[in-house]
Structure 1
Amino acid sequence: MNKKIVLDTSIIIDGIISNKIENNEIDEGSEIIIPRLAIDELQSQACKQREHGFVGLAELRRIREKCKIHNIDVRIAGGMPTPGDIKLAKNGRIDSLICAIAEEEEAILYTSDYIQYLTAIASGVQSIFYRSVTSSEFDIENYFDENTMSVHLIEGVEPLAKKGTPGNFILEKISNEKLNKVVLNEIINFLFSTRENKKVSNIEISFDGCYVLMYKNLRIVITFPPVSNKIEITAVRPIKKLTLKDYELDTKLIERLSSDAEGILIAGRPGSGKSTFASSIADHYVSNNRLVKTLESPRDLQVPDNIVQYGSFKNGYERVADLLLLVRPDFTIFDEVRRIRDFELFADLRLTGIGMIGVIHANEALDAIQRFIGKIELGLIPHVIDTVIFINGGKIEKIYELKLTVKVPTGMIEQDLSRPVVEIRDFYSKEVEYEIYSYGEENIIIPLKNIDKKTAGEKNNRINKLAESKIREVIGRFDNQAEIKIISNDKIRILVSKDKIPKIIGRGGSTISEIEKILGVKIDVEAKVPSIGDEIPFSISESGSRIYLLVDEEHIGKKVNLFLNEELLASNQIGKRSKLKIDKKSEVGRKVFNLIMSNNQDALKIYESKGD
């Protein structure tokens, strides 16, 4: 059948078309269209003494010669590239213009670039992909040896590899030759072309500028503009498959994993061996006749064949999670929990009764728990997570168990301060190392391990600072100049302007009672009576939204009191530029501004504050 064929640069360089013409695989009477852009690109490469330029130009000559013999028309189409097109060539501009020529000519685009092929199909342009006959030379497995954990191929950089084991590896060059765009595209083409040979198990993630796929047992991440500024290929090989016996776990932990634990977090830094441990737990559950599924994207866990691995649906697990409820697994491994919706989904599935094992990035064991705070209610955390296992260097470094209780938090005294407290215990010693509870509207995490009198005092200081911040926020609604003194863990004294006291107390003490309820402490309210010293002369200036009271430099850093007649307006410190700044929009600012407008600023007085 006669047809129009547009060639892109990649298939010209590969020398495929001349062979197809020679073998009568392109019908007589067809028309081959060569984009002017492709010719210019090959000429540019040849001028830079690059082999691909010479190879491509030689292939064009062969195409013309063979087309004459086989009665196939050859035509050049499209204009010269603009300076802007050349500048954006690395970002795929030339490829995009060639694709546009195929669309305009209503022709079939022939390419050896799989990304170009996918782009054409997505754009509604007919396209045929041919892999290079030499693509086996670009098998990414060639960069691996028996000690390689991962390979990192970056445009313009020598190929790198991490070699060793989790917690004990080095990053080293595996060649002194820098990788260029052509070589990386050949590797990408090889990876995608092997799909026909069933070597690629699945393309897990695909969007503009990124692909994540599985090639044999390798997880491959490919990025290119616009996601990254250059082409990068990262290939990660799973560590040796292990069982729980290989971790030499004691019987207590195995018993907990087998019966008691149903909300497990496996935490650790990237490359620490979290997923390997998760796979070993999956294998353990299967061997104990439990039905196990996984939620993962990409699906790269090394699990037994009778475990079905579920991936995300359009970058989300919601619909797949609905399916899990119908399938009714005993346990689900969630690899990895990182987005806000993932935390919510993990909690939802756990609360339906499904046993959950979550793999999560964390620098310390406690960090894994903290990542759930704020995403689900504090009181639900122990019902969602009962065990945290922290992996470091492929070994278990820390195990926590969580429990919810109602008690007076450590460091507090009064019984009426009792509240729900999440206790985080060391699995082996059963010692409570942390407490998590709500104080006002804040969630507080208090470390308790090895507390002596000194550290207890430091802990109480931290509580006091948090409490003071919260108290100041609430009381500031009535008097933003209030002074706060913490008398004990359950009692404070606030000093406010005399005229603010009725508002804080409220009718029949209703307002102060509500404040005490919010803060969880008893409050004494007293009038602020400053101890004043000598009067300080000053001048007034304005600038934008500020009023400035200017004093002599000798008063810099001193605390002063600003009075309007006998009313204390503010107690502040003189700044570095001998100024007392007042915001015009504040209550004090409005009063001072009104005095200025009424030419009555003499009613303002500044006095030194004694003892400061």
Structure 2
Amino acid sequence: MKYAVDTSVVISGRISRMLESGEIKGTIIIPEAVIAELEAQANFGKMTGFQGLSEVEKIVKFAQDRGFEVIFAGERPKLEHIRLAKGGEIDNLIREVAAEFDAVLITSDRVQHLVARAKGINTIYVRPKVIKPEETKIMSFFTPDTASVHLREGVPPYAKRGKIGDLKLVKLGDRPMSYEELNEIASEILEAARQDEDSSIEIERRGATVVQLRELRIAIAERPFADRMEITAVRPIAQVSIDEYGVSEELKRRIVERQRGILIAGPPGAGKSTFAASVANYLLKNGYVVKTMESPRDLMVSDEITQYAPLEGDMSLTSDILLLVRPDYTIYDELRRTSDFQVFSDMRLAGVGMIGVTHATRAVDAIQRMIGRVELGMIPQVVDTVVFIEAGKIVKVYELSFTVKVPTGMLEADLARPVIEVRDFETKKLEFEIYTYGEQIVVMPIESDEKLKAALEEKIGRYIDDFEVELAGRKAVVKVPERAISTLIGRKGKRIKTIEEELQLSIDVVPKEMSGEFDAEVEETGKHYVIQAKGLEGKTVDVYAGEEYLFTALVSRKGWIRIRKDKEGGKSLRLALAKGQPIKLRVIG
């Protein structure tokens, strides 16, 4: 008996099993069209190609061991066959081989089976083995609190378990996993994804495959993309409502009052996509038509929300369709490449409410990722709200606005320019300004007055001890004793200029008004008493012995008062010193 096989049944691995069980016996004919198709898939890095070629190798080896014949026959597909492959030209080449050898065609392709039977070709239809997603081996690694499973060739299996923000890496066994085990698990995942209506193969590249198996997002990496085979399966461990995030009523109103541009940002695994799904469901309940753009499609949203993948691998084509569908809001998960931000921007400027998910370590970093990808002046029109998620909680919300003003820290009116203001949504406090300075784009943090004053005091304190600081916006007045002004300013003003540049401040240094009472030391020379008054140079002071007024004097430029012993003031001072009374100075002008 002669049997011809097609690509579908070879990829499934059923022929080797049928030969081993004795279900079929005789010559196996493998059309060159099948080999060409498997070779092309393997060259493109698709797992199906490698699985099929491995099955061919098994069939040949089995034939050698059992003593039956394997024939490679037929025509290799030409360019016109490849162009018309979707119309069934390559399948026709396979049928022609079966007819030429009067062989029974074995296939798992229902259309191939029906066409062959219609043409009078004997055929066996091998129904694909039904693999339910919940019965796949990958699911055996998951427990209710498992967020992700990590399988790697030559390494024991690991999993991340716990709650969002408190996930721990747990070892699931001591035995390292082999390539054969991982390949079997991967084949099972792919077959289950093909059969299940709620699953799909999202990305298939050379050495990398991404599968959405129900709620599992599975990434399969092989050589040459990875040094060893690896399977990573991620599952959302929480499906929460927007209220569970503690979203304020003001933020809810901001989302639903009109279509907006919102960025949901945070580090990997922070719960961004989970929050985006909760916002999508909330908008749906408030009467908005909501769609999603995802690659892969893994958001856990209501059935009423359609989830779109890249059309022909291109999100810009998906956006063209969505603009015809006219949704009120679109969730874009996630923004990574420049093309993603451009599609997001185009849809937002077309009037569609957009909610984008992007990776960022700080809330402001999400805005910075748009710089250079979206024209600076258009950013507040594209994104007016940034929600930063960390460990499953909202830790920061920014609102963006556009104005023309002199940036904080600049004083001259002719320096006015367009400025993007980034304010804390709850307190309305200005935290960042974004503007152009020369050819550069500056993202300038606006420090609080307390922090800025403390930083200024710390820097001034390196040079002098006696000073006062008054701060108003980005302008500071520093009052110091006259003797210390030159010390603070530095040679040719370099010291104070350095401080201004480091803190982005304008600093005025002025003499400190001296007032109050000061203790004084008295020294004695041959004919004079010398009262030390450092810091009071040029000031007029009253001299007291305890609470008793003695006399009034002018402090010299050198910071002392000299009085003759034989004068009235000198005599009064000598008597006070003899009594041990403290000498004090009171500034009067």
**1:228 alignment partner, SS class:** coil
Alignment partners' CA distance in 1, 2:11 and 2:332: 43
Give the match for residue 350 of structure 2.
352
Q: Which residue of 2 aligns with 1:334?
A: 332
Q: Partner residue of 1:217?
A: 215
Deviation, 1:377, is 1.4
C-alpha distance 413-143 of structure 1, shift in aligned 2 (>3 A): same
Cα distance in 2 for partners of 1:214, 1:285 equals 25
What is the identity, as a one-letter code, of the residue corresponding to 1:437?
A: Y
Percent identity between matched residues is 44
Q: Report how far residue 195 of structure 1 moved.
A: 4.1
Contact 1:138 1:186 in 2 (8 A): no
Q: Does 1:74 align with 2:76?
A: no
Work out the CA distance in 1 between the residues paired with 2:387 and 2:364.
10
Equivalent residue runs for 1:94-243 within 5 Å: 139-195=137-193, 197-198=195-196, 201-243=199-241
3-state DSSP class of the match of 2:2? coil
1:369-518 alignment, distance < 5 Å = 369-451=367-449, 452-453=452-453, 455=455
Q: Distance in 2 between matches of 1:291 and 1:12?
A: 46
**Which 5+ residue runs of structure 2 have no aligned equivalent?**
32-55, 73-93, 99-103, 109-124, 460-493, 502-589
Matched with 2:3 is 3
Q: Deviations over 1:256-301 (max 9, x none)?
A: 1111560100000111000000000000110011011111100110
CA distance in 1, matches of 2:145, 2:189: 22
**How far did 1:129 drift?**
9.6
Pairing partner for 2:249 from 227, 251, 254? 251
CA contact (8 A) 2:399 2:425 kept: yes
Shift of 1:315: 3.1
SS in 2 for 1:18: helix
CA distance in 2, matches of 1:242, 1:303: 11
Aligned to 1:528: none
> How much has 1:158 moved relative to structure 2?
0.6
CA spacing shift, 1:436–1:75, aligned 2, 3 Å: closer
Q: 1:327 to 1:134 in 2, by over 3 A?
A: closer
Kindly state the Cα deviation for residue 134 of structure 1 after the two structures are TM-superposed: 11
Aligned pair partner of 1:283 in 276, 281, 284: 281
Query: Would you say 1:18 and 2:20 are equivalent positions?
Result: yes
Contact 2:28-2:70 at 8 Å conserved across structures: no
CA distance in 2, matches of 1:342, 1:58: 44
Q: Aligned partners of 1:333, 1:11: CA distance in 2, in Å?
A: 40
CA distance in 1 between counterparts of 2:384 and 2:159 reads 38
Contact 1:436–1:444 under 8 Å retained in 2 = yes
TM (norm. structure 2) is: 0.60
How far off is 1:252 after superposition? 1.1
Q: How many residue pairs get matched?
A: 396
Contact 2:146 2:237 in 1 (8 A): no
CA contact (8 A) 2:264 2:389 kept: yes
1:376: Cα distance to partner? 1.2
How many Å separate the matches in 1 of 2:168 and 2:254?
36
Letter in 2 for 1:192: L
From the superposition, tell whether residues 488 and 384 of structure 1 become closer, same or farther in structure 2 (CA, over 3 Å).
Answer: farther
Cα distance per residue 1:293-347 (max 9 Å; x no partner): 1111001101111111111134321111111111111001010001011111111
Structure-2 separation of matches of 1:396 and 1:129:
53
Match of 1:556 in 2: none
Deviation, structure 1 residue 237: 0.7
Answer yes or no: is the 8 Å Cα contact 1:11–1:17 preserved in 2: no
Q: How does 1:361-376 map to 2 (within 5 A)?
A: 361-376=359-374
1:420 is paired with a residue whose SS is strand
User: Does the C-alpha gap of structure 1 residues 195 and 9 become closer, same or farther in structure 2, counting only changes over 3 Å?
Assistant: closer
Contact 1:335 1:359 (8 Å CA) reproduced = yes
Using the alignment, how far apart are the partners of 1:30 and 1:13 within structure 2? 9
Q: Give 2:262's aligned residue.
A: 264
Contact 2:142 2:149 in 1 (8 A): yes
Q: TM-score if structure 1 supplies the norm length?
A: 0.58
Distance 1:346 1:133 in 2: 40
Secondary structure of the structure 1 residue equivalent to 2:155: coil
Which position in structure 2 is the counterpart of 1:522? none
For 1:164 and 1:60, how far apart are their aligned partners in 2?
48
Q: Report if aligned partners of 1:194, 1:200 keep a CA contact under 8 Å in 2.
A: no
Q: CA RMSD in A?
A: 4.0
SS of the residue aligned with 1:375? Answer: coil
Preserved CA contact (<8 Å) 1:261 1:387: no
Q: Secondary structure at the match of 1:428?
A: coil
CA contact (8 A) 1:219 1:300 kept: yes
Does the Cα contact within 8 Å between 2:4 and 2:106 map onto a contact in 1?
no
Query: Cα offset for 1:216?
Result: 2.0
Task: Supply the distance in 1 between the matched residues of 2:297 and 2:173 (Cα, whole angstroms).
Answer: 30
Aligned partner of 2:317 among 316, 319, 326? 319
Name the SS for the 1:158 alignment partner. strand
Contact 1:12 1:59 in 2 (8 A): no
CA displacement, residues 164-209 of structure 1 (integer Å, 9 cap, x when unaligned): 1221010111111111011011101111222464266111111221
What residue number does 2:303 align with? 305
The Cα of 1:453 is off from its aligned counterpart by 3.6
CA contact (8 A) 2:158 2:172 kept: yes
- Checking the alignment, whether the CA contact within 8 Å between 1:268 and 1:361 is kept in structure 2 is yes
Query: Do the aligned partners of 2:131 and 2:195 also contact (CA within 8 Å) in 1?
Result: no
Deviations 1:395-433 (A, max 9, x none): 001000001111100011111111111110001110000
Distance 1:443 1:487, change over 3 A: farther
- Aligned residue for 1:3, secondary structure, equals strand
For the 8 Å contact 2:194–2:201, the answer to whether it is kept is no
Pair 1:440–1:190, CA change in 2 (3 A)? same
Amino acid at match of 2:162: G
Separation in 2 of the partners of 1:333 and 1:194?
Answer: 27
Q: Is the 8 A contact 2:28 2:71 kept in 1?
A: no
1:33-44 equivalence runs, <5 A: none
Task: Report the more deviating stretch, 279-288 or 218-227.
Answer: 218-227
* Aligned-partner Cα distance in 2 for 1:109–1:275: 47
Contact kept? 2:399, 2:422, Cα under 8 Å:
yes
Tell me if structure 2 keeps the 8 A contact 1:406–1:421. Answer: yes
Unaligned regions of 5+ residues in structure 1, if any?
A: 34-55, 78-102, 113-127, 460-484, 493-612
Contact 2:265 2:272 in 1 (8 A): yes
* Structure number, greater radius of gyration: 2
- Post-superposition offset of 1:211: 1.1
Matches within 5 A, 1:83-102: none
2: CA distance, partners of 1:170 / 1:377: 41
Equivalent residue, structure 2, for 1:538 = none
Q: 1:110 Cα deviation (Å)?
A: 9.8
The amino acid of 1:74's aligned partner reads E
